[in-house]
Every structure is written in structure tokens, then in C-alpha cells.
Amino acid sequence: MASVGFYHLTKTDLQQALPLLLIRTMQANERGLVLCKDDQQVQGLTEALWRVSQPIWLPHGCHTSDNQDDFPQWQPIWLTVFEENLNQAAFLFLVGGQSEVNLTAFKRVFDLFDGNDPDAVQQARQRWRLLKQNGHDLTYWKQTDKGWGKGV
């Protein structure tokens, strides 16, 4: 079973939080797959990754409904709207509230959700219950003033 971490965003938005987690992914010599809800989310996150200044940039590619970057197998970070793992990532980032995703191919799964949106929080709770029933190893992380704090 996959190790799934729920990341409760309360201090920053997704475009600020995700790049920091992807930097840590690359520091761990892992690849990240970011599964987005739609093409607009892919575009917004791509722009956020280009704005990262430390490191100088985060190498990535993307696949939307009307475009796919070349050589996905070379990309340490792959953003997509499709359930695919073209870059052979070990870390999966769910940023669109997906609940019906096959997690078996991943070492770690990050489920990021907006803590300021009551609907997103409720949906995250439903995903937690479903994954718990399916025997996954779950952890909960909440943003604090000093970073991520592990919760109950």
C-alpha cells in the first residue's frame, strides 16, 4: 500500500506550497508526478514553477488536453491532467481533489487541499476515510507559521 500524506494548506496557496514540496522531492533524488484537475491548473502551476528562484528553476514538463511537452521520460517533474506516469515518478502529488486514482505504483502520495475551502476540507475527509478503509498508511500535515506540522 502507498504512504499517503494529506497536506492541509492554511497559510499559503497551492502555487506557493507545491514548489517547496517538489524541491524536497528533487533533493531526495526522486521524481514527482503532479496530477491536476484541469488544463488551467496545469498552466497556473507551470507558471509557479518557472517563478521559483531557489533553486534557480525547477525542471518540468506537462501534458494537457491539447499539448504535451517532448521527452517526458527526462522530466523530474511532470504535470498532467491524465492518470499517467510518463516520467516514472515515485512521488505522486494530487492537487485536484482526485479520489479514484491508482496509487500502487507510487512510493509516496501527497494529497494537497485548501484548508480555507470548506468543500475541499470535506472532500479530503472523504478521501481519508476511503484510503484508510483500503489499508493505506496515512499521515496528516497542516501548515503552521514555521512550516508543516504533523497532526493526528
Q: Would you say the pTM of this structure is higher than 0.85? A: yes
Task: Note the pLDDT of residue 141.
Answer: 96
Task: Note the pLDDT of residue 4.
Answer: 97
Task: Note the pLDDT of residue 57.
Answer: 78
Q: Is 152 a residue whose pLDDT tops 70?
A: no
Q: Is the distance from CB of 6 to CB of 114 less than 8 angstroms?
A: no
34 contacts: CB under 8 Å, gap ≥ 6: 18, 22, 45, 77, 78, 79, 80, 93, 95
Lowest-pLDDT choice from 15-24, 56-65, 71-80, 117-126 = 56-65
End-to-end, the C-alpha distance of the chain in Å comes to 20
pLDDT digits (tens, 9 = 90+) for 32-81: 999 999 999 999 999 999 999 887 778 999 999 999 989 999 999 999 99
Residues 111-137 have a mean pLDDT of 95
Lowest-pLDDT choice from 5-14, 23-32, 53-62, 82-91 = 53-62
Task: Note the pLDDT of residue 96.
Answer: 93
Q: Which fold has domain 3-150?
A: Rossmann fold (3.40.50)
Residues 12-28 have a mean pLDDT of 95
Q: Is 124 a residue whose pLDDT tops 80?
A: yes
Q: Where are the domains of the chain?
A: 3-150
Residue 14, CB half-sphere, CA atoms under 13 Å: how many? Answer: 25
